[in-house]
Amino acid sequence: MAKSKTARTALTGQRLTAQRRLLFDLLRKGKGHPDVDELYRQAKQLDPRISLSTVYRNLRLFKKLGLVEELHLEEEHHHYESRPTTEHYHLVCRGCGQVVEFRSPHVDKLKQEVGQEHRYAILGADVSLVGYCPRCQANRQKV
C-alpha cells in the first residue's frame, strides 16, 4: 500500500504505523459510513494481525486530530467518515439503514438566519433526515 501523504501530514507528531495508515486509508478511500465492526472486518482482510482495540484506539486518535467525523445515524452505535472537504448532510433509511449524502443551500440559509437571530457564529450543521428509501417504501406498502 502506498504511503498516504494526507495521513503523514495530518498525523504530525504521531507515529504513522502500517495499521494506522491502513485504517486511515480505508476511511478516506472507502465508500459509505462504516461502523467500528465493519471497519475492523475490512482492515482484518488486509492485515490479519490487527485487533479491534487497535481500531478503537486509532478512531479516537483520528477524531481527536479532526481527521474523521463520528456520525450518529439513528442507531446505538457510531459510524465514521473521513473529514469531508465540503459540508454535507445525510438521509438515513430507517428500513434498510442506507445512508445517502446530500448538500442543500437551504441548510446554508438556515444557518445564516439562525446565526443572525441568536447572534451566533455558526460553524457547521449536523443534519440527518430519517425516513424510508424508495425500496423500503414500496416494501412497506406491500405489507
Q: Are residues 51 and 102 in the same domain?
A: no
Residue 71 belongs to a domain with what CATH number? Answer: 1.10.10.10
**Using 50, 70 and 90 to split pLDDT, how confident is the model at 32?**
confident
Residue 66 in this model has a pLDDT that exceeds 90: no
DSSP secondary structure of 73-97: -SSSS-EEEEPPSS--EEEEETTT-
pLDDT at 58: 94
Please, which residues bridge with residue 81 across strands?
69
Q: Are residues 140 and 121 in the same domain?
A: yes
pTM: 0.66
pLDDT at 128: 86
Q: Are residues 103 and 65 in the same domain?
A: no
Region 10-26: mean pLDDT is 83
Please, which residues bridge with residue 89 across strands?
102
Higher-pLDDT residue of 1, 118: 118
Domain that holds residue 70: 1-85
Buried/exposed 71-84: b ≥16 CB within 10 Å, e otherwise: bebeeeeebbbbee
Residue 132's Cβ-count burial label (10 Å; 0-12, 13-18, 19+) is: middle
Q: Are residues 4 and 70 in the same domain?
A: yes
Residue 142 in this model has a pLDDT that exceeds 90: no
Q: Are residues 77 and 92 in the same domain?
A: no
Q: Are residues 81 and 16 in the same domain?
A: yes
Residue 60 in this model has a pLDDT that exceeds 80: yes
Q: Are residues 62 and 106 in the same domain?
A: no
Q: Are residues 81 and 91 in the same domain?
A: no
Q: Are residues 56 and 110 in the same domain?
A: no
Higher-pLDDT residue of 110, 32: 110
